[in-house]
Structure 1
């Protein structure tokens, strides 16, 4: 069926338009005009490209580590769709190899099934640095083995991202991962500057939640933060919730990096989309929600209850960036990072992943492939 959506305002990923018709067929945008035989839908509000989140640990009461099923993955996606996420990487934090295998199998099934929004998988660990582990369980942090390499090398997982600490993974292994079509991100690391640069030269292309759980920038020791900000080519995920990164630090990174190399991520945990008082367990440790903040009872920040539209609005309100740049940080730039050139823009040939926002910049409707997956 052909559909034409006519919103009061459209942001196509580059600029705003008034009353721009978007015609969709078979999940793709086929014309920026009305087309013969299409069903027309008037949309009150602003239509923007769907958001892409490359770090989603959970949502809707589900944590991927404890529910490695297609149903669990889809429940996470449904929770985030109400906040404008149309593409995401279910993210498994550090765990044993059996759980990694179960998660990979579930993601492969979801990808094969065409589960709405599932673009691949992000393995955040287990090859991390113990001094920068955060809430990742130390008992499962380990050197890489053939068992993990076999999982990372699978070709049925969609887009693959692996976060690792380069002081604990050799440049030869990083090169092997890149050759296996893995996007290597650096994070949860105490590496020095030279080790990080060597990992970038070996093919690493991203940094996981910039500033958090990584060696800091100082005058004589640039650390991972310094290498990340200096790099002209690597993408940096940024958690803009006001807790993980001070607004001034976020603004410094955005000013220093080339435009397009800082993307918004949520690092979301199960309470996203759940009642305010929702708590959960993470490897036997209780995690408590206090407003928009998650802390383990042991004190550490334990992921986020941030959602993508929240991150967009925080980027405008806390960091002072233009609304259109915040939208690009949530859609276009992560699409470019994971190599999904048909996403992040509302152009002819793009997938019809779209979000309708009201005047308060809150989500009214979410579409994936032209099909509505959330309506307020």
Structure 2
């Protein structure tokens, strides 16, 4: 099928991001959704039988994929490889993430992102800069030698980059960057996320009042909630306008902890899913290098030699499956946490994912809820059926 053809996809169930449709037909024209129908089948139609159609997933934190880690050596082709790898895994919209690095490497990656935006790289939402303005005590796998305070040059760099990118998320530690700087960043349209931080509840709430609106991988690499000091975790759950990513692999966060967090989170902010995947995504690698460190891939986790978690061996589709399997929500809840809720955290007011006029980016699941086919602009880019 060519992108300018009209094609119809009939399935037993279709979730458009807001509503379930039974025995529905998704109509695609010129790579975009042109309608949904539950009427008689009109030829030509691809009958998907008992399968389910869901919107393409969204990931605001993926550090790499397809054997490429986003860093100062990444090329334009490498960035496209990361985006396309996650697309084939069902995540059709991504915010590639650069972890703590040098100013020169940051400039390089920001230039890559600006070119990708100008060229309209399909599935590229912008960039997430996770560091280097973090807490040394909560650095996780980030290189301690590269963690540093935020300077005027860093602020100007981010302001300039925001004018060239659709979205920038910056993860920083609230105790290292003052509220007035956070306010300046948010005025420039930058989404400030708190993470890798040992902030107190009061420091975190001051950052949120200044405009920070997100938290990075909730519970991991941050001050925990105690009975007298709620820490960053407590502040995130208590702040109504704040959303937070969570790594739902049941390794980074226990299922009971996730369940408690979902119950405690005050809205309209919400907990959404992220993969925190590394270069191994979409490969059969058993180990790889992160700077000078060897990362071992085993038993569903990525770890340094000392056992420190270093990203996650997770796809967004696996996160959705996990969310449902451990009883945290129905499939539509899990899909919302992997589509509309992260997009809302980026500032999209009504991120309705399979609606007329929007790109026909969707995934097809088997009756057993396994990933069968991935479609970008109405064209199959990955098929998993036997």
- Shorter-chain TM-score category? over 0.9
The answer to whether the aligner puts 1:46 opposite 2:52 as a matched pair is yes
Give the match for residue 270 of structure 2.
261
Does 2:227 correspond to 1:223?
A: no
Could you list the runs of 5+ residues in structure 2 that have no partner in the other structure?
none
**What whole-Å deviation, never above 9, does each CA across 1:324-370 have from its counterpart, x for those lacking one?**
11111111111211134574532224332211111232222222333
Distance 2:241 2:357 in 1: 26
Runs of at least 4 residues off by over 4 Å: 34-39, 341-344
Identify if the C-alpha distance between structure 1 residues 355 and 75 changes in structure 2 by more than 3 Å, giving closer, same or farther.
same
Contact 1:23 1:35 in 2 (8 A): no
Matched, 1:283 2:291: yes
Residue deviations 1:35-86, cap 9 Å, x none? 9998533224110011000000011111001542221111112221232101
CA contact (8 A) 1:132 1:214 kept: yes
Q: What residue is the counterpart of 2:144 in the other structure?
A: 138
Match of 2:345 in 1: 337
Q: 2 CA distance for matches of 1:286 and 1:111?
A: 33
With normalisation by structure 2, the TM-score equals 0.92
Number of residues paired by the alignment? 375
Q: Residue in 1 aligned with 2:25?
A: 21
Alignment-derived partner of residue 11 in structure 1: 15
- Could you list the per-position Cα deviations for residues 191-224 of structure 1 after superposition, in whole angstroms to 9, with x for gaps in the alignment? 1011100000000110000000000000000000
- Asked if 2 retains the 8 angstrom alpha-carbon contact of 1:335 and 1:344, the reply is no
CA-to-partner distance for each residue in 1:222-254, whole Å, 9 max, x for gaps?
000000011111101010001100111101111
Secondary structure of 2:306's aligned partner: coil
* Aligned pairs for 1:332-371 within 5 A: 332-340=340-348, 343-371=351-379
2:242–2:269 CA contact under 8 A, matched in 1: no
- CA separation in 2, counterparts of 1:215 and 1:163? 15
Give the secondary-structure state (helix, strand or coil) at the position aligned to 1:326.
helix
Shift of 1:134: 0.3
The gaps in structure 1 that reach 5 residues or longer are none
2-structure distance, mates of 1:370, 1:151: 37
CA distance in 2, matches of 1:342, 1:325: 16
Post-superposition Cα deviations, 1:133-182, rounded to whole Å, max 9, x if no partner, equal 00100111111123322331121122110000011001111011101110
CA RMSD after TM alignment: 2.0
How many angstroms apart in 2 are the aligned matches of 1:259 and 1:317?
25
Kept in 1, the 8 Å contact 2:195–2:217? The answer is yes
Is 1:271 the counterpart of 2:271 in the alignment?
A: no
Q: In structure 2, the residue corresponding to 1:286 is in which secondary structure? A: strand
Conserved 8 A contact 1:68-1:99: no
Which residue pairs with 1:69 in the alignment?
A: 75
What residue in structure 2 maps to residue 80 of structure 1?
A: 86
TM norm structure 1: 0.95
